[in-house]
Amino acid sequence: MADLPPFVAERLGSPLNTLFAAFDYASDSHLDRWQFAVTLTDVLSQGATLLDVRWLVLRRFAEHAKETTVPGDANRSFRRLPPTSLPADMCVALSPLGAETLRAVLPGWRPESATQACDTAATESGAFAACVTPVWDAERREVRYRDEIVKRYRVPAPNQELILAAFEEEGWPQLIDDPLPPQDELDPKRRLQATIKSLNRNQLVPLIRFHGNGNGLQIYWEAV
């Protein structure tokens, strides 16, 4: 566990408790943590400052994004922001690293990691928890889920592999923004849609499924 400055518990106790509550509500509901992301206004109202939020983001204890949800959407959606951008209308979510590292400095902390807690809750309830995430093994070029090989690549599939690598790098949140770089004369929305279909095709054991959210900008995964 990372060494933490002594001011963390005293200075950030209240705002961190709010972020932890959002993180735990998401785990308990078996939803992606962004579905319970907290607005910057709420974080600041708990006593944090922009400096505190910037520190949390730079230390990778929290992540921030601009909400792009459209009325009528089934789920909240977001566009990630660079560390230098802290707009007033952004939202904040605790990262898995932050949940495990920072919980130790708060009263009533639980020694188990957020992932372990989620797995335990899922086992006790018999639920198929979304927090049990897939694994993209770039070296073996395999997608695994619950110790099963979902898909194995025998030939290059750069677009699919780029999306899988992006999910793996971000810890398999429920959704990510389209990571495919712009390409001349190719409509990015159609290309993403075609790549999603390819990800779902020819799975050895169909345990996970990918889909878009209708705006052509983001991709989701879910357990089947």
Same domain, 69 and 179: no
Residue 52 lies in a domain: yes
Judge if 24 and 121 occupy the same domain.
yes
In a domain, 46, yes or no: yes
The whole-number pLDDT of residue 119 equals 43
Q: pLDDT tens digits for 201-211?
A: 999 999 999 99
Same domain, 155 and 92: no
State residue 172's pLDDT score: 87
Q: Quick one: pLDDT at residue 38?
A: 95
Determine the pLDDT at residue 107.
54
For 89-128, how does the pLDDT look when each residue is reduced to its tens digit (9 = 90+)? 999 999 888 887 777 666 554 433 334 444 443 443 333 3
Tell me, yes or no, whether 109 and 151 share the same domain: no
Q: Are residues 119 and 76 in the same domain?
A: yes
Closest C-alpha among 55, 192, 6, 224 to residue 128: 224
Strand order across the beta sheet in which 90-94 lies: 38-39, 90-94, 62-67, 78-80
Whole-number Cα distances in Å, 48 to 16, 55, 141, 157: 9, 11, 43, 45
| Number of domains composing the chain | 2
Residue 33 lies in domain: 7-125
74 and 93 fall within a common domain: yes
Domain boundary among 91, 125, 159: 125
Whether residue 18 is found in the same domain as residue 85: yes
Residue ranges of the chain with pLDDT lower than 70? 1-4, 6-7, 9, 104-131
